[in-house]
């Protein structure tokens, strides 16, 4: 008795469906969205044929403006126009202060962990601002591709820390996008190049964007991109070149640094324009009007180079460290791929070329290369390229550890460890009868707690009374494929457990995200429920399809008759329930099917591992 | 749970030997990740993704151990019933300890040298040679399971920990010196 049609092995149970997927480069200055269409990746333009969306959001009393129009208003309406929001995402109030006094916004020093900016449309967080940019891009893709997106890959600087990654994912959630994966920008760039030239070997990707700098060393081997090391500075970019030029003009023209927001913004824009002019010519004329006078002058390329050299040298330090961390010598690096608009600056190319002793590669438009790579990865993750062998193996950019006695940090996962990863360390109590232990999670390379970034704190309670040093508390850190951290603690002799999804102290709490979803204008209460139902139905469909496909491939080989019948029965139950509108029931049925099929999923995994290795053993004895 | 009872060598389909062909290990690593990595299950349900993540984590850990001589030696010793990870390691080799002191001293004086980068380069070379000596020793010692050889292997592991630490300190100093230029 067949409960449902199972296709013959080799045939897919469902007709092959092309899933809609896109890659998003959410940049400091500009953002792009790209997709693979008929096998070709390309960036998607808006209705005016513009591919680049300036990452600028302007809040109006009755709505939101994103892109070029918002950017053009930045000088006239600086307080309501948020530029370079990527510099703010995942950062707390104290960090913003050290980031620079040049940020022309009204920050609210509220009790909440996430800073808010006051605008005419109310107070907004960097996450909400980023979500506005993502919404526009998502909509553009859905209109161009003609349907709802199944999922997206969003790129982040490799050097983004846990809080910044989590915040980016929250922004996507707020924008209603399903995130397949967060992908590191240099890795995305390497994908664009790697597939183009199928160049096996070791490559460096030097990525200097508007607000962030990344360096990654990757090994390419037959479609596998293995990141060996990564480094950088998540608060250094081309904006800083603009800033040093602006400061130089202020010094030359005697403009005081408490000038009004509009003047400061104009100086930054002027700095940018001069930087761009000096890419082509050896000198540029300056003219700036302040309230009481006009100042004119000239800046030469040599003067400009002297201004930015300290910044470029900082990037070179990070390059040398990344090479060292990769365990290779500079000579082993085949070429250096340049990514990000700021690599157009001649001095940057010159110094990077000198360091690596090679002419940097600039074949692909440095503005588009990241989005293109993300689109290729999104297409693979959506399952549109079934026989594709491409695989990305990335690393965590910063060391993670816990606080130990004396304000020291004990590293549990060192930087540049391939993810996903799980590592554990045992600690003990220091007082007789100690019943609780605080776990303080930190990120950074320094030895003192005060020099590292605090990610989260939690407590393990209910440790049974023991003499000091007798308890064995195992703290486990695991990082998933998105680079997000999860920490758990367990007292081994009693089994008392505590666990935390590291929602960093700098991030939003889970309920805050839900609250934002609810309060955003487009999502009235009813919509939220509808959306949850749809999400649950999609997940049910995913589970059904996956099991069907698996069973049609190898049920006869891996399952006996009784096991097959059992799974088919559970599968049918979920198929029936998935059409209902009862969120709880669907959830329950998914759980039930997953529980019933767990042994099968594991059996398949073990089987494919054996097969992968069996191939080698045969080869060896040839 | 997955079949996590296999040791790392078994997982990679390799004999439990200190001597490994690193290219072969990398090749097998990539082939394993091609079948277990969560990216291969990105559009599957949460359960599959979780199991894929556990498997990929295990494969990453095994690879980290197999490709690194010190970790590989420690792991082999643990398979042979020795705990080479804790504080129960020691050495009575006076000449070795003397050499360590000299190297440390040289490292401490590097900053004052005329050409510190050249000095540090030489030091790194010397330490590397000493590490390679221990690797050569371990290759022979870990072929057997005689208690005497294992005792000696434990001592070798201890020395390698020492040397590795020194090497990374020297590297850190090199980085600092390079950054000052």
- Interface predicted TM-score (ipTM) of this complex, two decimals: 0.89
Range A605-620 average pLDDT: 75
Enter the tokens of residue B62: 């095994």
Task: Report the pLDDT value the prediction gives residue A10, as an integer from 0 to 100.
Answer: 40
Q: pTM of the entire structure? A: 0.85
Contact A392 B34 (CB under 8 A): no
Can you say whether residue A10 is alpha, beta or left, with left for phi > 0 and alpha for psi between -120 and 50 degrees?
Answer: left
Q: Do β-strands A116-119 and A122-124 pair in parallel, antiparallel, or remain unpaired?
A: antiparallel
DSSP assignment letter at A465: P
Task: Report the pLDDT value the prediction gives residue A495, as an integer from 0 to 100.
Answer: 77
Enter the tokens of residue A458: 């939690």
**A324 interaction partners in chain B (CB closer than 8 Å):** 171, 174-175
How many Å lie between the alpha carbon of B91 and the closest alpha carbon of chain A?
26
User: CA B42, B46, B52: angle at the middle one, nearest 5?
Assistant: 60
Residue in A546, A605, A611 closest to B2 by CB: A605
Q: Is the peptide bond before A85 cis (omega within 30 degrees of 0)?
A: no
Confidence band (pLDDT; 50, 70, 90) for A622?
Answer: very low
Give the span between the Cα atoms of A117 and A447, in whole angstroms: 34
Res. A110: pLDDT tops 60: no
Residue with token string 């526009």: A136
The chain A residue lying nearest B33, using CA atoms, is A391
Q: Do β-strands A224-233 and A391-393 pair in parallel, antiparallel, or remain unpaired?
A: parallel
**A539 interaction partners in chain B (CB closer than 8 Å):** 45-46
Give the span between the Cα atoms of A191 and A180, in whole angstroms: 17
Give the span between the Cα atoms of A430 and A437, in whole angstroms: 10
B8-67 against B94-180: fold identical: no
Which are the contacts of A581, defined by CB distance < 8 A and separation ≥ 6? A533
Residue B93, class by beta-carbon neighbours within 10 Å (0-12 exposed, 13-18 middle, 19+ buried)? middle
Average pLDDT of every residue of chain A: 85
Give the span between the Cα atoms of B47 and B44, in whole angstroms: 8
The number of C-alpha atoms within 13 Å of A417 and in the hemisphere containing its C-beta is 26
Range A528-554 average pLDDT: 84
Let me know if domain B8-67 sits in CATH 1.10.287.110: yes
- Please give the radius of gyration of chain A, using alpha carbons only, rounded to the nearest integer: 26
Residue B46, class by beta-carbon neighbours within 10 Å (0-12 exposed, 13-18 middle, 19+ buried)? middle
Res. A196: pLDDT tops 70: no
Task: Report the pLDDT value the prediction gives residue A465, as an integer from 0 to 100.
Answer: 87
Residue A103's CB is within 10 A of a number of other CB atoms, namely 17
Residue A207 annotated as catalytic: yes
Give the span between the Cα atoms of B113 and B177, in whole angstroms: 12
How many Å lie between the alpha carbon of A180 and the closest alpha carbon of chain B?
6
For A342-366, write each residue's pLDDT tens digit.
999 999 999 999 999 999 988 888 8
Enter the tokens of residue A173: 């959630």
Enter the tokens of residue B132: 């390679």
Res. A50: pLDDT tops 50: yes
Distances (CA, A) of A464 to A405, A485, B45: 21, 28, 38
Task: Report the pLDDT value the prediction gives residue A503, as an integer from 0 to 100.
Answer: 55
Residues A47, A40: contact at Cβ < 8 Å? no
Give the distance from CA A222 to its chain's centroid: 25
Give the span between the Cα atoms of A412 and A423, in whole angstroms: 7
| Strands of A234-316, DSSP E | 283-289, 294-300
Topology given in CATH for the domain delimited by A400-510: Substrate Binding Domain Of DNAk; Chain A, domain 1 (2.60.34)
Distances (CA, A) of B133 to A63, B130, B139: 70, 5, 10
A24-236+318-393 against A524-620: fold identical: no
User: CA A399, A401, A403: angle at the middle one, nearest 5?
Assistant: 140
Alpha-helical regions (H) of A363-482: 369-381
Quote the percentage of chain A above a pLDDT of 70: 88
Residue B50, class by beta-carbon neighbours within 10 Å (0-12 exposed, 13-18 middle, 19+ buried)? middle
Range A72-86 average pLDDT: 88
Residue B108's CB is within 10 A of a number of other CB atoms, namely 10
How many Å lie between the alpha carbon of A608 and the closest alpha carbon of chain B?
6
Give the span between the Cα atoms of A238 and A340, in whole angstroms: 9
Task: Report the pLDDT value the prediction gives residue A5, as an integer from 0 to 100.
Answer: 42
Topology given in CATH for the domain delimited by A24-236+318-393: Nucleotidyltransferase; domain 5 (3.30.420)
Residue in A180, A481, A609 closest to B35 by CB: A609
Give the span between the Cα atoms of A434 and A446, in whole angstroms: 29
Task: Report the pLDDT value the prediction gives residue A318, as an integer from 0 to 100.
Answer: 92
Beta bridge partners, A208, equal: A213
Which are the contacts of B53, defined by CB distance < 8 A and separation ≥ 6? A420, A480, A481, B38
**A597 interaction partners in chain B (CB closer than 8 Å):** 47
**Maximum Cα–Cα distance for chain A, whole Å?**
91
User: Class of the A238-308 domain?
Assistant: alpha beta
Q: How far apart are the first and last CA of chain A?
A: 46
Residue A276 annotated as catalytic: no
Confidence band (pLDDT; 50, 70, 90) for A463?
Answer: confident
Which are the contacts of A514, defined by CB distance < 8 A and separation ≥ 6? none
Cα dihedral A265→A308→A67→A267 (10° resolution): 20
Q: Which among A349, A22, A39, A12 is positioned nearest to A177, based on CA atoms? A: A22
Beta bridge partners, A297, equal: A286
Total number of residues shown for chain B: 181
Residue in A391, A543, A616 closest to B28 by CB: A616
Q: Which among A235, A293, A263 is positioned nearest to A453, based on CA atoms? A: A235
Residue in B1, B39, B171 closest to A324 by CB: B171
User: Class of the A524-620 domain?
Assistant: mainly alpha
DSSP assignment letter at A367: T
Task: Report the pLDDT value the prediction gives residue B142, as an integer from 0 to 100.
Answer: 92
Enter the tokens of residue A308: 């930015």
Q: Which among A276, A264, A267 is positioned nearest to A238, based on CA atoms? A: A276
The chain B residue lying nearest A318, using CA atoms, is B179
Buried b (16+ CB within 10 A) or exposed e, A224-243: bbbbbbbbbbbbbbbbbbbb
Range A329-339 average pLDDT: 92
Give the span between the Cα atoms of B169 and B58, in whole angstroms: 30
Q: Is the peptide bond before A525 cis (omega within 30 degrees of 0)?
A: no
Residue A512's CB is within 10 A of a number of other CB atoms, namely 17
Task: Report the pLDDT value the prediction gives residue A528, as an integer from 0 to 100.
Answer: 67
**B26 interaction partners in chain A (CB closer than 8 Å):** 221
Which are the contacts of B94, defined by CB distance < 8 A and separation ≥ 6? none
Residue A403 annotated as catalytic: no
Let me know if domain B94-180 sits in CATH 2.40.30.10: no
What residues does each domain of chain A span?
24-236+318-393, 238-308, 400-510, 524-620
**A224 interaction partners in chain B (CB closer than 8 Å):** 30, 33-34
Contact A419 B60 (CB under 8 A): yes
Give the span between the Cα atoms of A158 and A319, in whole angstroms: 13
Query: One digit per residue, pLDDT tens: chain B, 181 residues?
Result: 456 678 999 999 999 999 999 999 999 999 999 999 999 888 777 888 889 999 999 999 999 999 999 999 999 999 998 887 766 677 888 888 888 899 999 998 998 888 888 999 999 999 999 999 999 999 999 988 899 999 999 999 999 999 999 999 999 898 888 887 7
A103-107, A151-155, A295-299, A555-559: which has the minimum mean pLDDT? A103-107
Q: Is A260 strand, coil or helix?
A: coil
The chain A residue lying nearest B63, using CA atoms, is A418
Residues A282, A301: contact at Cβ < 8 Å? yes
Size of interface A-B (CB pairs under 8 A): 128
Contact B47 A594 (CB under 8 A): yes
Give the span between the Cα atoms of A576 and A428, in whole angstroms: 51
Which residues on chain B place their C-beta less than 8 Å from a C-beta of chain A?
A: 1-3, 11-13, 24, 26-28, 30-40, 42-48, 51-53, 55-57, 60-61, 63-64, 171, 174-175, 178-179
Q: Is A441 strand, coil or helix?
A: strand
Contact B30 A320 (CB under 8 A): no
Contact A420 B2 (CB under 8 A): no
């Amino acid at each position: 008795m067949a409960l449902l049609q199972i296709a013959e092995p080799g045939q897919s149970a469902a007709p092959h469906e092309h899933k809609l997927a896109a890659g998003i480069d959410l940049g400091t200055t500009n953002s792009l969205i790209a997709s693979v269409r008929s096998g070709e990746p390309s960036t998607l333009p808006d209705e005016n044929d513009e591919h680049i969306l300036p990452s600028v959001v302007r809040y109006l009393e009755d709505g939101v403006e994103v892109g070029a129009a918002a950017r053009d208003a930045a000088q006239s309406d600086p307080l309501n126009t948020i530029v370079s929001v990527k510099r703010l995402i995942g950062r707390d109030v104290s960090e913003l202060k050290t980031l620079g006094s040049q940020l022309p916004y009204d920050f609210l020093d509220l009790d909440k962990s996430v800073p808010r900016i006051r605008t005419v449309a109310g107070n907004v967080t960097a996450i909400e601002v980023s979500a506005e940019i993502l919404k526009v891009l998502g909509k553009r893709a859905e209109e161009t591709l003609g349907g709802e997106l199944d999922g997206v890959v969003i790129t982040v600087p490799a050097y983004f820390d846990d809080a910044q990654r989590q915040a980016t994912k929250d922004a996507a959630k707020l924008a209603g996008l399903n995130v397949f994966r967060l992908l590191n920008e240099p890795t995305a760039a390497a994908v664009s190049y790697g597939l183009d030239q199928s160049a096996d070997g070791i490559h460096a990707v030097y990525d200097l964007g508007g607000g962030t700098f990344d360096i990654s060393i990757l090994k390419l081997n037959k479609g596998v991109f293995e990141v060996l090391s990564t480094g950088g500075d998540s608060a250094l970019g081309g904006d800083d070149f603009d800033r040093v030029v602006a400061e130089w003009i202020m010094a030359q023209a005697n403009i005081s640094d408490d000038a009004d927001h509009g003047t400061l913004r104009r100086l930054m824009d002027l700095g940018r324009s001069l930087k761009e002019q000096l890419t082509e010519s050896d000198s540029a004329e300056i003219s700036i009007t302040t309230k009481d006078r006009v100042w004119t002058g000239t800046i030469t390329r040599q003067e400009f180079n002297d201004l930015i050299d300290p910044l470029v040298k900082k990037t070179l330090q990070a390059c040398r460290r990344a090479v060292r961390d990769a365990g290779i010598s500079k000579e082993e690096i085949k070429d250096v791929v340049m990514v990000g608009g700021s690599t157009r600056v001649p001095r940057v190319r010159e110094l990077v070329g000198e360091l690596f002793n090679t002419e940097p590669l600039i074949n692909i438009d440095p503005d588009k290369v990241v989005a293109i790579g993300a689109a290729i990865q999104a297409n693979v993750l959506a399952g549109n390229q079934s026989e594709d062998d491409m695989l990305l193996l990335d690393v965590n950019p910063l060391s993670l550890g816990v606080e130990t006695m004396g304000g020291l940090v004990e590293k549990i996962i060192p930087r540049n460890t391939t993810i996903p990863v799980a590592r554990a360390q045992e600690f003990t109590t220091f007082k007789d009868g100690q019943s609780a232990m605080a776990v303080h999670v930190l990120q950074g390379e320094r030895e003192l707690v005060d020099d590292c970034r605090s990610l989260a704190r939690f407590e393990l309670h209910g440790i049974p009374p023991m003499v000091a040093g007798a308890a064995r508390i195992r703290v486990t850190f695991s990082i998933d494929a998105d680079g997000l951290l999860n920490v758990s603690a367990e007292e081994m002799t009693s089994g008392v457990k505590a666990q935390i999804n590291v929602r960093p102290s700098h991030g939003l709490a889970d309920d805050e995200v839900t609250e934002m979803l609810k309060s955003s204008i487009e999502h009235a209460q009813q919509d939220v429920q509808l959306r949850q139902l749809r999400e649950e139905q999609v997940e049910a469909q995913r589970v059904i399809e996956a099991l069907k496909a698996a069973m049609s491939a190898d049920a006869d080989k891996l399952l006996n008759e009784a096991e097959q019948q059992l799974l088919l029965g559970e599968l049918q139950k979920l198929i029936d329930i998935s059409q209902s509108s009862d969120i709880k029931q669907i959830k329950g049925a998914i759980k039930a099917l997953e529980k019933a099929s767990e042994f099968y999923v594991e059996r398949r995994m073990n089987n494919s591992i054996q097969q992968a290795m069996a191939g080698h053993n045969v080869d060896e004895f040839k | 749970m997955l079949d996590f009872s296999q040791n790392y060598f078994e997982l990679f389909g390799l004999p439990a030997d200190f001597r490994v062909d690193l290219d072969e290990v990398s090749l097998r690593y990539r082939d394993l990740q091609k079948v277990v990595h969560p990216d291969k299950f990105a559009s599957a349900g949460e359960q599959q993704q979780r199991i894929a993540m556990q498997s990929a984590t295990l494969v990453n850990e095994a690879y980290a151990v197999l490709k690194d001589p010190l970790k590989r030696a420690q792991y082999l010793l643990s398979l042979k019933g020795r705990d080479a990870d804790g504080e129960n390691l020691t050495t009575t080799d006076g000449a070795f300890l003397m050499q360590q002191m000299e190297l440390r001293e040289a490292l401490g004086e590097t900053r004052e040298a005329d050409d510190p980068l050249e000095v540090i380069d030489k030091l790194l070379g010397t330490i590397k040679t000493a590490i390679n000596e221990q690797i050569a020793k371990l290759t022979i010692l870990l072929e057997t399971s005689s208690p005497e050889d294992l005792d000696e292997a434990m001592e070798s592991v201890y020395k390698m920990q020492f040397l590795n630490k020194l090497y990374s300190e020297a590297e850190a100093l090199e980085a600092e010196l390079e950054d000052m230029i």
